[in-house]
Structure 1
Amino acid sequence: MRLNVPLTDSEELAAIGEVLESGFLTQGPKTAEFERLIADRIGSTSAFGTSSATTGLHLALHAIGVQPGDEVIVPDFSFPATANAVIQQGAIPVFVDIELDTFNIDPSLLERAISPRTTAIMPVHAFGLTANMSAINEIAARHGIPVIEDAACALGATHRGREAGTLGLAGVFSFHPRKIITTAEGGLISTSDPELAAKIAVLRSHGAVRGSHFMSFIDAGFNYRLSDIHAAIGIAQMRKLDFILERRRSLASIYDDLLSDVDGVIPPSVPEGDLHSYQSYVVLLEDDVDRDAVIDRMREADIETTLGTYSMHLQPYFRSRFGIDDRELPAATRAQRSALTLPLYPQLENGQLESVAASMRQAVAGSRLRP
């Protein structure tokens, strides 16, 4: 059983064929249509397709004016693309610990991380659960610091009734095949700030503006465009979005019930007032369980599992450059060691989840660490 399988069919194939027949393959009308669909769905004024979420994060940071030597606050527990985008801008990621029950950045630790060089806060919506944006925005507003949402996993998630991607100055989504919907590769920046939107529109495509006869280059921009081929896949995927979200949430609820009495396994928690998109279903194993041994035992049962994501300060590059002691980030360090992602995608049958839960019970029982 695979960890994830994108939900695609003849609609996506037909959409690709239509673009190929049109001869318009780069960013064009399909990209604009996809952008409108996302913006309308989440209630954002503007949306800009990008070649990936990573380039989207970098472009957003550049557009808000993050400079070399500036500091950007990020959660330590995230895919390294979050911090990589900061470093690509010449800035310094400041790693903040997480709340273990949500895997999201701990707002109570933000104040001590803010310095005179802090120019942005970039919370991540871990696995499709929004960070506590109410608390984060209150702190950011008090200090006059813009907030960029790394909403890579969170299309369709909400915080107190508001859509992910509309909770900060800008939000960045991913459409990698493991995300809620896919464009094969691709990302998108959403914003309702007209000044920021104007900058992103120019910077995304070489810093160019098109005149009546040719382009003028008014800034040193990037080639971070989303092609019409990728956007056409995304348009077909958007027609499936409601079903995908409903099915993921239904399957997650079944997992919650099946795993509630499995000794050593802590199912994910969702704060009241929030709606999880369940891009991934990630559990926390108790301290005395060897997570990697569980992965091996689940593989023997032909079930693919993996770690939750990465505690960035533990990765070789960040360890070498910043040398942060594990004791400064205890929750993220624990999550790196003990978080486990289980298979979750709409095509799974309820009975398959029962098999996963039964295998988990055996795998965890056989992976206890000796005192």
Structure 2
Amino acid sequence: MVRRDPRVRLNVPLLGEAELEAVGSVLATGFLTQGPRAQEFEALVAQLVGTDHAYATSSATTGIHLALHACGVQPGDEVVIPDYSFPATANAVIQQGAVPVFVDIDPATFNMDPTKLEAAITGRTAAIMPVHAFGLPADMNEINAVAAAHGLPVIEDAACALAATYRGVAAGALGTAGVFSFHPRKIITTGEGGMITTSDAGVADRIAVLRTHGAVRGDTYMSFVDAGYNYRLSDINAAIGIAQMERLDHILERRRSLAAAYDDRLAEVDGLTTPAVPDDRTHTFQSYVLMLDEAFDRDAVIHALKARDVETTLGTYSMHLQPYFRDRFAIADEALPSSTRAHRQALTVPLYPQMTESDVDSVVDALRSTLAESRSVRAG
């Protein structure tokens, strides 16, 4: 049976001839691993973010792992993270031998609730890692204040937040280090890839060594001074990233314009809450995530929209509900109520630069009809 794609997809990366030409130019050189294109890509991101250093990595997950190691997180330490995030956030902590400590979120922004942070700090805490949910920066002044009081580094999981800002400062420059993702669902893509940004010279030196097998290159050969990793990004991927950076302003303009169109059209639809954007922040709208009222079965809404040719999905994951974390940590839902609700009620609707306002109308009409049918079933 041939799978039929929905008429309105959840996401479609914006790619074209520029990316094809960029890859072809790298293939022609025969220099395929990390090289000059990766360095050029790093320089572009560092300039955008406003940090002294940027290091391309094979993914955001390896970037987070590398940042944790470079910031001094050791086996047995604790790292405080929001419960509501893609599990890669916690997986990287565990891969470093540390223990994730989950805190609840602000239900309006889906970000770490700073008022819950102090209670999560213990004598074993080695770092705080907020996540900029769906491209909206967390409340970094409040988070950094707690971190400073305890002498802790702050690592931004900025996977979705390239070019987002908080009080005029770019995501990725708001903590000790920041990590971006270039997965196809993110703001720009390299296929797979990530980037660490930092202005901390000591952290930068550690990343440079650990990223490439723990090696320091001499005049003739390398000396291996640490047990490092192979977390490099190839020049093939980096060349795609360079071409994508040329599209960044257009991509952001389209995403924000489409998000505004959703805000306008959904204002009169009962049963949902649209994304909140505090005045001191800019949002990339990597995803446009609604919160459905608890009267609705979110999963049933996803299936009903699929039948109407509209692809949707959950927001992201309440990690304590996932089998591995549930079995290991046994955290009660009552301890993380906002994250638990978001896991069950948040809905991501289609948003990508190639969409038209007519596509937005189609999504909103399908959602309005689906919610109306659900109300009719309940009333009956």
- Which TM-score band applies after superposition, normalised by the shorter structure? over 0.9
Q: What does residue 94 of structure 1 align with? A: 101
Q: What does residue 3 of structure 2 align with? A: none
Distance in 1 (alpha carbons) for counterparts of 2:89 and 2:348: 19
Match of 1:341 among 348, 354, 363: 348
1:10 lines up with 2:17 in the alignment? yes
Matches within 5 A, 1:1-371: 1-368=8-375, 370=378
- SS in structure 2 opposite 1:366? helix
Distance in 2 (alpha carbons) for counterparts of 1:123 and 1:330: 18
- SS in structure 1 opposite 2:212? coil
Distance in 1 (alpha carbons) for counterparts of 2:267 and 2:141: 29
Task: Specify the code of the residue in structure 1 equivalent to 2:276.
Answer: S
Shift of 1:366: 2.2
- RMSD of aligned residue pairs (Cα, Å): 0.9
- SS in structure 1 opposite 2:374? coil
4+ aligned runs moved over 4 Å, structure 1 = 368-371
Shift of 1:363: 1.1
C-alpha distance after superposition, 1:279-323 (max 9, x if no partner): 000000011011011101110111100000000000000000000
TM-score, scaled to structure 1: 0.99
Shift of 1:265: 1.3
Paired residues in the alignment total 371
Distance in 2 (alpha carbons) for counterparts of 1:71 and 1:365: 46
Distance in 1 (alpha carbons) for counterparts of 2:311 and 2:136: 22
Task: Specify the code of the residue in structure 2 equivalent to 1:330.
Answer: P
8 A Cα contact 1:76 1:312, kept in partner? yes
Distance in 2 (alpha carbons) for counterparts of 1:143 and 1:9: 48
C-alpha distance after superposition, 1:160-219 (max 9, x if no partner): 100000000000000000000000000000000111101100000000011111111011
Distance in 1 (alpha carbons) for counterparts of 2:272 and 2:369: 12
Distance in 1 (alpha carbons) for counterparts of 2:215 and 2:372: 59
8 A Cα contact 1:295 1:306, kept in partner? yes
Q: What does residue 4 of structure 2 align with? A: none
Task: Specify the code of the residue in structure 1 equivalent to 2:211.
Answer: R
In structure 2, the gaps of 5 or more residues are 1-7
Distance in 2 (alpha carbons) for counterparts of 1:287 and 1:251: 26
Distance in 1 (alpha carbons) for counterparts of 2:272 and 2:365: 12
Shift of 1:365: 2.0
Task: Specify the code of the residue in structure 1 equivalent to 2:261.
Answer: I
Shift of 1:370: 4.3
- SS in structure 2 opposite 1:166? coil
Shift of 1:56: 0.3
Q: What does residue 5 of structure 2 align with? A: none
8 A Cα contact 1:293 1:367, kept in partner? no
8 A Cα contact 1:291 1:367, kept in partner? no
Distance in 1 (alpha carbons) for counterparts of 2:114 and 2:378: 35
Shift of 1:143: 1.1
- SS in structure 2 opposite 1:331? helix
C-alpha distance after superposition, 1:131-185 (max 9, x if no partner): 0001100111111111000000000100010000000000000000000000000
- SS in structure 1 opposite 2:178? strand
- SS in structure 2 opposite 1:130? coil
Distance in 2 (alpha carbons) for counterparts of 1:325 and 1:309: 19
C-alpha distance after superposition, 1:110-136 (max 9, x if no partner): 010000000000000000000000110
8 A Cα contact 1:77 1:311, kept in partner? yes
Shift of 1:367: 2.9
Task: Specify the code of the residue in structure 1 equivalent to 2:48.
Answer: R
- SS in structure 2 opposite 1:68? coil
